[in-house]
Amino acid sequence: MRSEIKVFYQRGYLRGHMTDAHNILPYGECKLFTDIEEKKINSEIGDFMVRKAEKFLEEPIPFLPLSLYRDKYLTGIRSRFEAKHHRRRDMLLHLTLAEAYEKQGRFVERIADLVWAIMDESTWCIPAHTYHSPNNKTSTVPDVYTDDQIPALDLYAGNCCATLALVRHLLSDELDAISPIICKKIDRMIYLRGIRPFITVSYTWMGETFEGFIDNWLTNITQSILFAAAITVKDFDLRKRVVERAMKILDNFTAYYPEDGCCDEGPGYWGGAGGNYFDCLELLEDMSGGKIKVYDHPLIKGMGEYIAKFNIDGRYYLNFADARPQLQHDGKMITRYGIKCGSEELEKFGRMMAADNDVERYYFFGMCYRVLKNAYVPEVHEAPKTKASRTVWYDSNKIAIFRESEDTSSGLYLATKGGTNAEMHNHNDVGCLVVYSNGRPVIVDPSHGSYDNGFFGPTRYDRWFMKSSYHSIPTVDGVEQKAGKDFVSSDESCDKDSQTVTMNLAGAFPKEAGIIRMQRTCSLKEGVITVKDEVEADHEADIRFNFVLVDEPKKTGDGTLALGEGRVMSYDKELSLNIEKVENTYLPYDDLNFKGTWGRECLWRVVLCARGTEAVSVITIK
């Protein structure tokens, strides 16, 4: 599956461009955003930033006491510290863009105060990520960092480097008028907390040992450090070292990535994975004056087109892994991605997303190269509706997507996945079933709750919304699938012409379930979805066929149920029927926000029940 990508890695796709040191421009010659003629914040974004900044002038700078930092360790709650930590940076970004647009000086003092407050923080790493610190992985307070100690470099330390670099890039003269020490300290702090760790330490997220997972951290942090280096690093040899290290790390990312471009972290993290990889490529293009320009590889194109193929309709996405069903992805960046990699599909999809994007959603701290570039590009308010592929098959992750129509808001939509329960942001969901009608949800992947101490720890799979039976997958004697690389589907096949996919789910369950075979066959033919499940056990068992719905089903006759969106499910009336209300009452982890996620007070589960060593369920939806 990944063998060709290993070769891609070994031949050094990006590293091959480092043979000539002159590929990297000196500090004084480097120009950002080389493909944009007028580097001026557009009036729509500028006016929005001014309105936000005026409110921030009246808002106190959030206080981050030690007790709030320790709160995560004492209570397991991340959000209280992170809300104030993030607020500081959001205030700084909006004030900076407002001042750069307006140029009246009325926001400069508040910007200087925020910059100074952030630089005085003991660490830029959030409490949930201190395990990435080379020196102090377990303490409940930030370590003391001296010249011979290296701090943690997590997502937020990287984002902070980029945010301060953005301030310096746009307002160095204004800050120097207060005191030259401010920019001098910005440069020093970015070096100590970002540049130096990046080039001297092998963090696990860099993927240099290929132990564990390689995920969006790699590309997110790398784009932050590249942006900060482009703006603040004047020493040519140091600039070259940063770029060389970035290229090696980025090759680790593509070495792990499946050749068909499927993001196993799911669409919720694509913007920080494939999206940030593209940001890195744009930065390398800028920093080399266009000499490093590598958008033409099929992997890069597939990596981008993934997000278009995972879109269902509008803001609805196929939300496998830790992802909400409704997402907003950065349409301006996606448009550029499509143009540069030569994908008309991705370019048109990006324009459609850009026309639908909320302004505020894409102007937040972090990803500052993209933020500023987007601010220079006019807003998009109208875009032609795109046509979607009627059949998609990702062999790497065994994901099948079938549509009745190329019009995303018309007809039935069916998706399912096989693969492994060892993906990044994995749910135990091998065999998961999703059905939409006219672009709206019918059978759903429930989504996920908020991150707490155990969310990425030993209690992750105790949560009901991580369990296989809540991903419309059968159970035998109530035994759920298990997490890990040993729990996989088998015998997967997809017939694109007949829009039929089949796979055996038995291998995703532990041996104690006693499952000999669990064959799932799904098809979409002539406006009818058919799901056939065949289960064989090595003992007499309670066999249940589960389907999670967004709307309450109503029984309309023997073997028929009225579903949401005017659809009807037919099932074998020989199977007994239970209809269950799914609420946050099953376990202590009751933080899935049904209203915010699905616009409902609860979800529903249809359970078709049988007893024996074998059972078959065939449902149709039309």
Are 308 and 226 contained in the same domain?
Answer: yes
% helix / strand / coil in the chain, to the nearest 5? 40, 20, 40
Q: From residue 373, how far is each of 39, 45, 111, 336 by CA, in Å?
A: 8, 12, 21, 11
Res 607: pLDDT: 97
Whether 452 has a pLDDT exceeding 90, the answer reads no
Q: Could you tell me how far CA 459 lies from the centroid of its own chain? A: 22
β-pairing, 500-504 vs 515-525, is: antiparallel
CA–CA dist 267, 311 (Å, integer): 9
Mean pLDDT of 575-579: 97
DSSP conformation class of 366: S
Domain boundary among 386, 418, 438: 386
Answer yes or no: is 487 within a domain: yes
Helices (H) and strands (E) in the chain, counts: 16, 19
CA–CA dist 77, 448 (Å, integer): 16
Mean pLDDT of 520-526: 97
Banded pLDDT at 17 (limits 50, 70, 90):
low
Q: Are 342 and 370 in contact (CB under 8 A)?
A: no
Could you tell me which of 119, 165, 224 has the C-alpha nearest to residue 27? Answer: 165
Mean pLDDT of 318-337: 94
CA–CA dist 124, 118 (Å, integer): 8
Whether 46 has a pLDDT exceeding 50, the answer reads yes
CA–CA dist 220, 225 (Å, integer): 9
The residue with greater pLDDT, 289 or 591, is: 289
Whether 265 has a pLDDT exceeding 50, the answer reads yes
Q: If you count them, how many residues does the chain have?
A: 622
Q: What is the CATH number of the domain that holds 535?
A: 2.70.98.70
Res 209: pLDDT: 72
Residue 537 identity: A
Are 72 and 144 contained in the same domain?
Answer: yes
Are 183 and 232 contained in the same domain?
Answer: no
Are 311 and 458 contained in the same domain?
Answer: no
| Structural domain of 250 | 12-36+202-386
Banded pLDDT at 3 (limits 50, 70, 90):
very low
Are 511 and 378 contained in the same domain?
Answer: no
Q: From residue 287, how far is each of 39, 230, 237 by CA, in Å?
A: 17, 7, 13
Which of 125-134, 286-295, 597-606 bottoms out in mean pLDDT, i.e. has the lowest?
Answer: 125-134
Are 283 and 432 contained in the same domain?
Answer: no
Instruction: Copy the structure tokens of residue 138.
Output: 């377990």
Local structure of 501: helix, strand or coil: strand
3-state secondary structure 549-576: ECCCCEEEECCEEECHHHCEEECCCCCE
Which of 148-157, 256-265, 275-284, 589-598 bottoms out in mean pLDDT, i.e. has the lowest?
Answer: 589-598
CA–CA dist 564, 205 (Å, integer): 43
pLDDT digits (tens, 9 = 90+) for 346-384: 999 999 999 988 877 677 777 999 999 999 999 999 888
Q: From residue 293, how far is each of 13, 116, 237, 257, 442 by CA, in Å?
A: 11, 37, 21, 20, 44
Res 7: pLDDT: 36
Mean pLDDT of 12-34: 77
Are 206 and 190 contained in the same domain?
Answer: no
Which of 16-25, 113-122, 328-337 bottoms out in mean pLDDT, i.e. has the lowest?
Answer: 16-25
Half-sphere exposure of 235 (CA within 13 A, CB side): 7
CA–CA dist 128, 107 (Å, integer): 32
Place of tokens 């744009």: 282
- Dihedral sign, CA of 531, 534, 540, 541? negative
Answer yes or no: is 247 within a domain: yes
Answer yes or no: is 209 within a domain: yes
Are 193 and 251 contained in the same domain?
Answer: no
Number of domains in the chain: 3
Could you tell me which of 428, 413, 399 has the C-alpha nearest to residue 492? Answer: 399
Domain boundary among 386, 411, 437: 386
Q: Which residues pair with 555 in a beta bridge?
A: 561
DSSP conformation class of 584: T
Banded pLDDT at 12 (limits 50, 70, 90):
low
Banded pLDDT at 211 (limits 50, 70, 90):
low
Whether 6 has a pLDDT exceeding 60, the answer reads no
With the CA atoms of 460, 461, 462 and 464 taken in that order, what torsion angle do they form, in degrees rounded to the nearest 10? 110
Domain boundary among 366, 386, 406: 386
Answer yes or no: is 451 within a domain: yes
DSSP conformation class of 420: E
Res 620: pLDDT: 98
Answer yes or no: is 349 within a domain: yes
Banded pLDDT at 16 (limits 50, 70, 90):
low
Share of the chain above pLDDT 90, in %: 76
CA–CA dist 218, 456 (Å, integer): 18
Backbone angles phi, psi at 304, to 5 degrees: -75, -45
Instruction: Round the average pLDDT of the chain to a whole number and report it.
Output: 91
Could you tell me which of 399, 396, 359, 366 has the C-alpha nearest to residue 381? Answer: 359
Q: Are 369 and 339 in contact (CB under 8 A)?
A: no
Are 329 and 427 contained in the same domain?
Answer: no
Q: Where are the alpha helices (DSSP H) in 25-138?
A: 43-58, 66-75, 79-102, 108-119
Could you tell me which of 459, 461, 460, 479 has the C-alpha nearest to residue 469? Answer: 479
pLDDT digits (tens, 9 = 90+) for 116-166: 999 999 999 999 887 766 666 667 887 766 666 778 899 999 999 999 999
Banded pLDDT at 454 (limits 50, 70, 90):
confident
CA–CA dist 300, 298 (Å, integer): 5
pLDDT digits (tens, 9 = 90+) for 388-441: 999 999 999 999 999 999 999 999 999 999 999 988 889 999 999 999 999 999
Answer yes or no: is 589 within a domain: yes
Q: Which long-range contacts (CB under 8 A, 24 or more apart) does 581-586 make?
A: 581/552, 582/446, 582/464, 582/470, 582/548, 586/464
Place of tokens 């320009």: 293
Are 303 and 435 contained in the same domain?
Answer: no
Answer yes or no: is 197 within a domain: yes
Could you tell me which of 525, 527, 516 has the C-alpha nearest to residue 476? Answer: 516
Instruction: Copy the structure tokens of residue 486.
Output: 């040993």
The residue with greater pLDDT, 321 or 390, is: 390
Could you tell me which of 375, 367, 226, 374 has the C-alpha nearest to residue 286? Answer: 226
Instruction: Copy the structure tokens of residue 386.
Output: 């795109």
Instruction: Copy the structure tokens of residue 349.
Output: 């999809």
Q: Where are the alpha helices (DSSP H) in 103-154?
A: 108-119
Q: Are 205 and 215 in contact (CB under 8 A)?
A: yes
CA–CA dist 353, 350 (Å, integer): 5
CA–CA dist 247, 14 (Å, integer): 6
Are 256 and 371 contained in the same domain?
Answer: yes
Answer yes or no: is 2 within a domain: no
Local structure of 545: helix, strand or coil: strand
Q: Is the pTM of this model over 0.85?
A: yes
Residue 142 identity: P
Helical (H) or strand (E) element with 580: strand 576-582
Number of neighbours of residue 323 by Cβ within 10 angstroms: 22
Residue 524, classified by CB atoms within 10 Å of its CB into exposed (0-12), middle (13-18) or buried (19+), is buried
Q: Which residues pair with 614 in a beta bridge?
A: 536
Are 365 and 496 contained in the same domain?
Answer: no
